[in-house]
Homo-oligomer: A and B are copies of this chain.
Amino acid sequence: MTRYDLLAFGENMIRLSTRNYERLEQAQTLDFRHGGTEANVAVALARLGYQTCWISRLANNPLGRKIAGELGQWGVDTSHVIWTDDGRVGLFFLEVGAPPRASAVLYDRRNSAMSQMTLEDFPWPLLAEARWLHLTGITAALSESCYGLVAESLRRAHELGLSVSFDVNYRARLWTPEQARAALEPLCREADVVIVTQSDAARVFGVQGDTPEEMLANLAGRFARRVVAMTLNAQGSVAYDKSSGRFFRAEPAPVVHTVDRIGTGDAFDAGFIAGCLEGNIARGLALGNALAALKMTIPGDYALVSRQEVEELLAGAAGGVNR
């Protein structure tokens, strides 16, 4: 019996976001939260009932302790976080927009404690106690040593028989598409499951195709040992299973009110991984779409959603008042 269903390895940042659609230059108050793509996945899976553990390096100050404590509140094991008295907690300002004005992220994450994590820091024995490892392209972009950690943890996970999912998660404010492509291609080749947005597939990897399925086939020709999944913005998601050669597609929820779009892709990842853990890719897409839609209605990065709520949505519930 393994102890953890999922290990998520990456960075969490303090998130300072505007309220009521104010611009940063006019705001006098900010919401004070935190998040990071890998922890977001770990929280969502924990809320569904999985045992998850988040691996990271954190500055031992109130900001770092806030992050670890609140992840604990949501059910994620943070007892293996590496603490350091040096270094800072990365952060970002989020100016929440409304169409046609985009939300804008102002990163201030350089030199974070996480970005300085080394091979010696990583709690390697944990890999032997888990079924699945989740990695993303953001950690790969943080620093050379982080890139090394992602590559090495991917390699060791395979040796130990864990499944590894890799979300490309391209961030234009961290690196150029060319840099990302060069760095991420080897990782995507080795991952069992690769998840990428349609726009990142085109922008980073130059993948083309008249249909999502055609793009997916191209991706599968280059990447992933087992499965490639692609999210299609407000049009659902598709996946391709290399062993069976089958395509899967799932429709998105029909009406989604946007409360907070940050973390939506991570919620999809969590649902898709849950499906994979159950050995059911079609269900993974459905769970992913449902979690993403529900996440969209919740402030903050985390998909604070119960399994029952996901099931009700998949069964056709659509809002209203439960009373």
The 6 closest A-B pairs by CB, nearest first: A105-B323, A98-B257, A99-B319, A24-B62, A73-B73, A69-B73
Q: Kindly specify which of A177-185, A217-225, A269-277, A297-305 makes contact with the partner chain.
A: A297-305
Q: Give which listed residue, B19, B63, B323, contacts A24 with CB less than 8 A.
A: B63
User: A319 touching B100 by the CB < 8 A rule?
Assistant: yes
Residue-wise, chain A 53-88 has the 8 Å CB interface mask toward B (1 for contact) of: 000000001110110011011110000000000001
User: B299 touching A257 by the CB < 8 A rule?
Assistant: no
Dominant SS at the A interface? loop
* A262: B residues at CB distance < 8 A: 321
User: A300 touching B26 by the CB < 8 A rule?
Assistant: yes
**Segment 156-208 of A: residues with Cβ below 8 Å from B:** 171-173
* A32: B residues at CB distance < 8 A: 16, 27-30
Q: Is A294 an interface residue (CB 8 A)?
A: yes
Docked CA distance A309–B110 (Å): 26
Known contacts A100-B253, A313-B100; decide if A25 and B69 are in contact (CB<8 Å). yes
Known contacts A21-B298, A100-B253, A100-B293; decide if A108 and B93 are in contact (CB<8 Å). no
User: B300 touching A97 by the CB < 8 A rule?
Assistant: no
Task: Count identical subunits in the complex.
Answer: 6
Q: Is A256 an interface residue (CB 8 A)?
A: yes
Count of interface residues, chain A, beta-carbon cutoff 8 Å: 74
Residue-wise, chain A 7-47 has the 8 Å CB interface mask toward B (1 for contact) of: 00000000010011111111111111100000000000000
Docked CA distance A63–B25 (Å): 7
User: A63 touching B99 by the CB < 8 A rule?
Assistant: no
Q: Is A103 an interface residue (CB 8 A)?
A: yes
User: A74 touching B63 by the CB < 8 A rule?
Assistant: no
Docked CA distance A78–B297 (Å): 29
Q: Give which listed residue, B21, B299, B313, contacts A22 with CB less than 8 A.
A: B299
User: B63 touching A321 by the CB < 8 A rule?
Assistant: no
Q: Is A111 an interface residue (CB 8 A)?
A: yes
User: A317 touching B95 by the CB < 8 A rule?
Assistant: no
Q: Is A124 an interface residue (CB 8 A)?
A: no
* A16: B residues at CB distance < 8 A: 16, 30, 32
Q: Give which listed residue, B95, B102, B319, contacts A62 with CB less than 8 A.
A: B95
Identity of the chain B residue whose Cβ is nearest the Cβ of A253 in the assembled complex: B100
Q: Is A101 an interface residue (CB 8 A)?
A: yes
* A100: B residues at CB distance < 8 A: 253-256, 293-294, 297, 313, 317-319
